[in-house]
Amino acid sequence: MSRYVFKVPDLGEGTVSSEIVAWRVKEGDVVLEDGPLLEMSTEKAVVEVPSPVGGRIVSLIGGPGDIVAVGAELVIFETDTAVAAPAVPVAPVGEAPVAASSARTAARAAAAVATRVMASPATRRRAREAGINLSAVTGTGPGGRIGKADLEAVLGASTAPVAAVPTAGAQPRTGVEEIKIIGVRRVIAERMAAAKRTIPHFSYVEEVDVTELESLRAHLNSKLAKGAAGYTYLPLLVAALVRVLESFPQCNAHYDAERNVVLRHRPVHVGVATQTPDGLKVPVVRHAEGLTLAALAAEIRRVAEAARTGRATRGELGGSTITVTSLGKLGGIASTPVINAPEVAIIGVNKAVERPMVVGGQVVVRRMMNLSSSFDHRFVDGFDAAAMIQALKERLEHPATIFMSE
């Protein structure tokens, strides 16, 4: 009997450990080389790890939520087992350490092509939870990729209506659902707790009259080709922000706690807080100071979509120097966003609504939007924070100045 021990791989950028999110196999299963083995989480993303060899699973070491060091034993395979059933393959990590004959390799490759399913880890996880076989789902994305909408369509079709049961009154409910905090959600929880515990936050809220900005946005959208993605407020706000930061470099900075040094960055790498099926992620628009409005809008859409679909790289999920967070229509009146450490400032965007305002002694309808921003009080004084937001407000209320340097 030949056995092969698979150890935790380095999933990129020198990670020293990873968290087991979910096993795709169980002990006794027979898998193909490159077949799906498990999902592991780094600080940046959930990664699907394929099997390095074909064979029978003898032992799985660790369970969901366990954090295991790179190089630790993870799976033990019996490699002289005849592989009788194909597995859904994913992109290989590293090289397979066990050789196979050319005929067997060719047959395995043919089976892989025939059974390949393209979907993000989040979509695969949702399908498993719902008991849906993704090989039976038709993908409408590029190359037949199965997206959230494809899966939801199948789930909707398989859900039969439940007849209402008349009751004399509300019925008491019992039971408690336990949800283990693992993967990206665990990382989010740890970072949020650390940020609130170590950073003395203070928030500053200011209302902005975006009536003229809305007129500019509507005009720009009217010039777009039919079917093109329209402009939102976000690229306009980012364009104004990068100019304002020229006069407030203390807000475009990192705090290096180990060296007790504040690093003021000249480039502006804007983090865009994005809600995903796995929780909040912050993909980064790099060198926002050098992008046109059209390029800013396109890049914000690209990195946000990559984060939502699980395709964002580790490099795209780190390195921001200041973060912008917006809940769009759910933005509320005001908020107190948590700083994305090691940054020292975060700009929160609330929803824009029409309100009666007094202008020149007359009550008129204006479109108003609040900016709710938080700062690290150790390195950003209240006066400087207020002055920065006021400068941002000035540009947004007079959009002709958005691209003017300080």
The tens digit of pLDDT for each residue in 102-118 reads 344 334 433 433 445 66
Q: How many domains does the chain have?
A: 3
80 lies in the same domain as 124: no
- Element holding 211 (H helix, E strand): helix 211-222
Residues 216 and 345 both lie in one domain:
yes
Q: Which of 80, 219, 287, 381 is catalytic?
A: 381
Give the 3-state secondary structure of residue 104: helix
- Residue 132, pLDDT above cutoff 50: yes
Same domain assignment for residues 110 and 123: no
Q: Is the pLDDT of residue 127 over 90?
A: no
Verify that 104 and 136 share a domain, yes or no.
Answer: no
Do 87 and 209 have their domain in common? no
Q: Which residue has the higher pLDDT, 162 or 78?
A: 78
287 with 138, same domain: the answer is no
90 and 142 together in one domain = no
Mark whether 126 and 143 lie in a shared domain.
yes
Of 8-17, 158-167, 385-394, the one with minimum mean pLDDT is 158-167
Q: Are residues 81 and 224 in the same domain?
A: no
Residue with the larger pLDDT of the pair 173 and 267: 267
For residue 338, give the amino acid letter: V
Same domain membership, residue 353 and residue 209: yes
Q: Let me know if residue 321 belongs to a domain.
A: yes
Domain edge (last residue) among 96, 116, 136: 116
363 occurs within a structural domain: yes
User: What tens digit of pLDDT does each residue of 232-262 get?
Assistant: 999 999 999 999 999 999 999 999 999 999 9
What is the maximal distance between C-alpha atoms in the chain? 90
Q: Is 213 found in the same domain as 336?
A: yes
Residue 95 binned pLDDT confidence (cut-offs 50, 70, 90): very low
Task: Report the pLDDT value the prediction gives residue 383, as an integer from 0 to 100.
Answer: 97
Does residue 344 lie in a domain region? yes
Domain that holds residue 338: 201-401
Within a domain: 188: no
What percent of the chain stands above pLDDT 70? 83
User: Does residue 40 lie in a domain region?
Assistant: yes
Query: Is 269 in the active site?
Result: no
Q: Are 365 and 372 in contact (CB under 8 A)?
A: no
Residues contacting residue 85 through CB under 8 Å, at least 6 positions apart: 30
Whether this prediction's pTM lies above 0.75 is answered by no
| pLDDT of res. 10 | 84
Please give the average per-residue pLDDT across 297-308, as a whole number: 95
Which domain CATH number covers 125?
Answer: 4.10.320.10
228 within a domain of the structure (yes/no):
yes
What pLDDT sits at residue 47? 80
Is residue 373 domain-resident? yes
Average pLDDT, the chain: 84
381 is catalytic: yes
pLDDT band at 391 (very low <50, low <70, confident <90, very high): very high
Whether pLDDT at 309 is above 80: yes
Q: What is the mean pLDDT of residues 21-32?
A: 92
Q: Please state which of the ranges 49-58, 243-252, 297-306 shows the lowest mean pLDDT.
A: 49-58
Is the pLDDT score of 299 beyond 70? yes
CATH number at residue 22: 2.40.50.100
Catalytic: which of 29, 66, 265, 377?
377
How many other C-beta atoms can be found within 10 angstroms of the C-beta atom of residue 375?
Answer: 28
pLDDT tens track for 204-238: 999 999 999 999 999 999 999 988 999 999 999 99
Write the pLDDT tens digit of every residue in 133-162.
776 788 787 667 787 788 777 776 655 554
Mean pLDDT, rounded, for 333-356: 95
CB atoms within 10 A of CB 37: 24
Q: What is the pLDDT of residue 261?
A: 96
Does residue 73 sit in the same domain as residue 125? no
Mean pLDDT of 62-87: 79
User: For residue 232, what is the domain's CATH number?
Assistant: 3.30.559.10
Please answer whether residues 371 and 208 qualify as being in contact, where contact means their C-beta atoms are separated by less than 8 angstroms: yes
Residues 94-98 have a mean pLDDT of 41
Between CA 345 and CA 373 the distance in angstroms is 7
Q: Does some domain include residue 155? A: no
Mean pLDDT of 283-296: 96
CA distance 207 to 369: 6
